[in-house]
């Protein structure tokens, strides 16, 4: 594929998918909005506006990504909650558990029980 085709395809791809691809590449990294802008070669205002057009903001996108990834890892691996929290960039498993419960309404352990029984 030519460089022009690549650039055309890249422009058609929505910005949320581009950010998620970046997060997916390094899920344990504590991403800052400015770093994401730099990696995507966009100004902060441009990325903010593009995300707004897709009805999301960076903080929500990052939280959604981490919680969906946590749920996926809980369902598909035998990794401990501590290991999963660490893989997703949480320093303290207790904080990860709190965030997870606020997001899903149940603790990771309760979530896991729902999917194993």
Residue 8 has a pLDDT of: 45
Question: What's the total number of domains in the chain?
Answer: 1
Residue 4 has a pLDDT of: 52
CA distance 77 to 27: 16
pTM for this entry: 0.83
In percent, the amount of the chain with pLDDT more than 90 equals 84
Residue 117 has a pLDDT of: 60
The token pair that represents 79 in the structure block: 């990794």
Q: What is the CATH number of the domain that holds 63?
A: 1.10.10.60
CB-based contacts of 20-24 (< 8 A; 24+ apart in sequence)? 20/61, 20/65, 23/62, 23/65, 24/65
- The domain containing residue 75 runs over which residues? 3-116
pLDDT digits (tens, 9 = 90+) for 5-30: 455 445 557 999 999 999 999 999 99
Q: Which residues of the chain have pLDDT under 50?
A: 1, 5, 8-9
Residue 13 has a pLDDT of: 74
CA distance 80 to 8: 42
């Amino acid at each position: 594929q030519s460089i022009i085709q690549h650039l055309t395809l890249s422009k058609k791809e929505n910005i949320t998918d581009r950010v998620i691809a970046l997060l997916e590449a390094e899920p344990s990294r504590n991403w800052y909005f400015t770093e994401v802008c730099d990696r995507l070669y966009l100004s902060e205002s441009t990325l903010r506006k593009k995300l707004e057009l897709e009805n999301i903001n960076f903080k929500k996108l990052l939280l959604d990504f981490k919680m969906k990834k946590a749920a996926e890892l809980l369902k598909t691996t035998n990794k401990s909650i501590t290991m999963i929290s660490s893989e997703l960039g949480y320093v303290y498993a207790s904080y990860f558990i709190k965030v997870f419960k606020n997001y899903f309404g149940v603790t990771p352990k309760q979530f896991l029980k729902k999917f194993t029984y």
